[in-house]
Amino acid sequence: MMRMWGGGHMWNDGAWTGPGRWLVGWVPLLVLLVVGYLVYRAIVRSTRTEDDPALEELRLAYARGDISDEEFKQRRERLRRDE
């Protein structure tokens, strides 16, 4: 009865046929990898700012206008070299 309505063209004795059959296995895997990568990046980004209070204080001083662009760049590079 399904074949009568056009739904049976994708199935051949219970096996998926056609060029899109590889998507059944690869798409969920790719989605899982992308979500895992995004979670990893979020964790790394949050721990990076928490671990370096000197760099965070430097950013705050720059945002307040207490230091110039050039001084911010110099101090940031010095802090990154010391890590």
Q: How many CB atoms lie within 10 A of CB 67?
A: 15
Q: Same domain for 34 and 3?
A: yes
Beta strands in the chain (DSSP E): 11-12, 15-16
Higher pLDDT, 36 or 7: 36
pTM score, whole prediction:
0.40
Which structure tokens are listed for 28? 């969920």
Residues 34 and 1 in one domain: yes
**Domain assignment present for 15:** yes
47 found inside a domain: no
Cross-strand partners of 12 = 15
Tally of structural domains, the chain: 2
pLDDT of residue 82: 74
Residue range(s) defining the domain that contains residue 71 = 52-83
Residue 33 forms part of a structural domain: yes
Domain for residue 82, yes or no? yes
Q: Are residues 27 and 5 in the same domain?
A: yes
pLDDT tens digits for 33-79?
999 999 999 888 766 555 678 888 999 999 999 999 999 999 999 98
**Which tokens belong to 22?**
């590889």
CA-CA distance, 33 to 26, in Å (whole number)?
11
CA distance 75 to 60: 13
Pair of tokens at residue 12: 């051949």
Q: Is residue 28 part of a domain?
A: yes
Tokens of 42: 């979020």
